[in-house]
Structure 1
Amino acid sequence: MTSPSLDRRTALAGAAVTLSSAASAQDKLPTVLITGASRGIGFGLATKYAERGWTVIATARNPSRSEDLQALAAKHTNVRPETLDVTDLGQIDTLAAKLRGTPIDVLINNAGISGGAENQVFGQLNYDAFDSVMHTNVLGPLKIAEAFTEHIAASGQKKLINISSTEGSLGSISRRPDYRNYFYRASKAALNMEMVNVAKAVKDKGITVLLLSPGFVRSDFTAGIDLPIMISVDESATQCMDVIDKATIEQSGMFFNQRGEPGIW
């Protein structure tokens, strides 16, 4: 007859193994870091990855002030809000140091600004706004790519995704009659070029670098615009994630739309 104490020890040992296995499984879940995750496409992606069970490092300039992001973190314990202003190079270095030793499977450079249409009227261009757009949309993503290269290289998936736009496509814009969004268009064209270079720089580390246009999305970014071609944040995030999931090292340095179709440079 088995003694009660032996049964108890066996049960405890079994429970310990179960907990250990669960912890091990948790440790193996992929991690995604998303900049500008407090609203719009960034928040949509953070929500989708959280629902998938990934560890989500959701960065924003003031995450504590984002009710949506705080609610998402309260609902999903795998969501980790972090403060990050992508125009502050010191903050980028600080977060990279804080996350040292944390493999990041997918890093999504999403944070961006348009610069305001009122600041981009030829003859009345606001060059302070131009500086802000370039710092946010071009300098920030490049610094983040550099600061987090080793985090990405240490992961299983090794993907650096950059949210671009057909607004930065010379081929697309040259066919349009309008002349506007000088700053935003210039910033996305610059982002495309710099990330093609980054793709070459990190190829030997096995990192896949993609430029991804999320589509014409209804969000705070496009407030006041209503066109038939526009899609919801949820639809855009779902489609973008599918492209990211399927991305391969052979596609590194390429530009795609949210449906996975090659973009026009």
Structure 2
Amino acid sequence: MSQVFITGANRGIGLALTKLYLKAGWDVVACCRNPDQADDLLYLISDNPGLEVYQLDVTDYDAVAELGKELADRPISLLINNAGYYGPYNVAVGGSDVEEWRKVIEINTIAPLKVVEAFLPQLKMGQGTIANISSKMGSLDDNSSGGAYYYRSSKAAQNAVTKSLAIDLAVDGIKAVVIHPGWVRTDMGGPHGLIDTETSASGIQQVLNNLTAAQSGHFFDYRGNEIAW
């Protein structure tokens, strides 16, 4: 049985991905910071015996490591680092808040690598795929509007981490890829997003279903189009 591990699974794209993989017959390990407030996720448990929900703050690295040990016998076919944080909007030059910037980097760049490290044995067992949900805003080539210093820098760094993972873990049969989910109508994306969570999640699933070893280390959008770094 294929198993997927998803962070930030309580809402938005993470919840939509959880539903899709359950529907496809996968076992799903769904993680979020506050499961007691994740009614939409918990509601799925009664009809989906393959769903397990765990409390996890991805920046609590001791807890991440402990969960890795708790699930040590689980081969992971797919690890989706979906949890993310945009930070404050409209930060202008001269108005940066270093502590807030550190928080964005912590969640978007450092935490995904720490999650991979904690579950590397399981990924090796499953010859799994690492899917880091990034953003086109992390593309240097695509940046024509400036601004968004915290988020852009954190996602560009996450992209660099993913590229290195793809190179370093290829010997273990593990693929790593960056995916831009589109401008999605979520709490982060806002109400004016161009697509809904189901469209984004379905596209992401399709990209991952068809991912080849030669595509590891590349940057794609949810429709499978490659994005320049």
TM-score by length of 2: 0.97
Identity, in percent, stands at 36
Q: CA deviation digits over 1:172-219, x for unaligned, max 9?
A: 00xx2x322110000000000011111111110000111111111111
**What count of residue pairs does the alignment treat as equivalent?**
229
Q: 2:141 aligns with which of 171, 178, 195?
A: 171
RMSD: 1.2
Q: Contact 2:32 / 2:57 at 8 angstroms: preserved in 1? A: yes
Q: Quote the residue 2:154 is aligned against.
A: 187
Q: 1:158 aligns with which of 124, 128, 135?
A: 128
Mapping for residues 196-215 of structure 1, pairs under 5 Å? 196-215=163-182
Q: For 2:203, give the aligned amino acid.
A: Q
Q: 2:219 aligns with which of 252, 255, 263?
A: 255
Q: Which has the higher helix share?
A: 1
Q: Quote the residue 2:33 is aligned against.
A: 61
TM-score by length of 1: 0.84
Distance (whole Å) between structure 2 residues aligned to residue 31 and residue 117 of structure 1: 36
Q: For 2:97, give the aligned amino acid.
A: N
Distance (whole Å) between structure 2 residues aligned to residue 58 and residue 116 of structure 1: 27
Unmatched runs of 5 consecutive residues or more in structure 1: 1-28
Runs of 4+ in 1 over 3 A off after TM superposition: none
The structure showing larger relative contact order (alpha-carbon pairs under 8 Å, at least 6 residues apart) is 2
Distance (whole Å) between structure 2 residues aligned to residue 45 and residue 80 of structure 1: 14
Q: Contact 2:104 / 2:151 at 8 angstroms: preserved in 1? A: yes
Q: Contact 2:184 / 2:190 at 8 angstroms: preserved in 1? A: no
Q: 2:18 aligns with which of 38, 42, 46?
A: 46
Q: Contact 2:84 / 2:108 at 8 angstroms: preserved in 1? A: yes
Mapping for residues 1-265 of structure 1, pairs under 5 Å? 29-118=1-90, 120-155=91-126, 158-173=128-143, 176=144, 178-224=145-191, 226=192, 230-265=194-229
Q: For 2:207, give the aligned amino acid.
A: V
Q: CA deviation at 1:43?
A: 0.7
Unmatched runs of 5 consecutive residues or more in structure 2: none
Q: CA deviation at 1:222?
A: 1.6
